[in-house]
Structure 1
Amino acid sequence: MQITLDSPAGGPRPLSPYYSQVARVEHADGSALLFLSGQIAEGATLAEQTRGAFEAIDALLKAHGASLAHVISIRTCLTDIGKLAEYGSVRRQFLTGTPPTSMTFEVPRLFRPEAQVEIEVVAAVPGGD
């Protein structure tokens, strides 16, 4: 097993120098697990921020040869759980297959004061065998 931590050029830059965007755990058969840091995005509405976060996630996954179809687990922080339906509507546009495992919870605030949502995922990438 090999572990690589990085912030790939094809994805968004980290908001601080104190974390990596992706942890890739590579197995001997070529399969890998990708653990992505939580993603936030700019936008005036929760829908805009959710869309931007999923676009960032998609870019990070693509930089590691994966896609949103490989997502097996998702954790979401919302600053207003009353907007869960708005978030879910956008999420369904990006995660179109069998839903991954999920955890969504309300938090009083996020890293950036204007952020309404932060999304973290784990993806499983099959090997070449």
Structure 2
Amino acid sequence: MTLTLDNPASVAAPFGDRFSHVARLDLPGGGALLVLSGQVGVDDQGAVVAPGDVRAQSERIFDLIGGLLAAHGATFADVLHVRTFMTDLGLLPGYGEVRERYFPHVKPASTTVEVSRLFLAGAVLEVEVTAALITG
């Protein structure tokens, strides 16, 4: 097995260069497991997109996740698990509307929790995913 930590050019570098966006574990016999760091709705300069707006931030987050997946040859169809951190579970319907567009048929395993705050003011959710590339 080979572990690769990656920051694809398709997404702005992580804040303070303190972590990797993607941990990829290539598996014996082919295939790979992709673990993505949590993504928040920020623009390429790191500013929160539409502070407080769950739909706009959800769109941006899934755009970022899509870019990270694509950089490793994956799509949303390869996602096994979605973990969501929200500052207010009352915003869940808006998030759910956006998320449904990315997972219209097969629903991955999922965890959603409410947290007191996120690391950027105005950010209302953070989403991380785990995906698998199956070959053979």
- TM-score above 0.5: yes
Q: Which residue does the alignment assign to 1:49? A: 57
Aligned equivalents of 1:125, 1:96: Cα separation in 2? 19
Percent identity between matched residues is 42
Where does structure 1 lack aligned partners over 5 or more consecutive residues? none
Aligned equivalents of 1:92, 1:25: Cα separation in 2? 28
Question: TM-score under structure 2 normalisation?
Answer: 0.90
Question: TM-score under structure 1 normalisation?
Answer: 0.95
Aligned equivalents of 1:8, 1:103: Cα separation in 2? 26
Aligned equivalents of 2:62, 2:16: Cα separation in 1? 20
Where does structure 2 lack aligned partners over 5 or more consecutive residues? 42-48
**1:12 alignment partner, SS class:** coil
Q: Which residue does the alignment assign to 2:94? A: 86
Q: Which residue does the alignment assign to 1:107? A: 115
* Letter of the structure 2 residue corresponding to residue 124 of structure 1: A
**1:16 alignment partner, SS class:** helix
Greater mean alpha carbon deviation, residues 77-86 or residues 12-21: 12-21
**1:49 alignment partner, SS class:** helix
Report deviation, 1:13: 2.0
Alignment RMSD = 0.9
* Letter of the structure 1 residue corresponding to residue 109 of structure 2: T
Q: Which residue does the alignment assign to 1:119? A: 127
Report deviation, 1:96: 1.7
Q: Deviations over 1:12-35 (max 9, x none)?
A: 321221100000010122200100
**2:84 alignment partner, SS class:** strand
Q: Which residue does the alignment assign to 1:66? A: 74
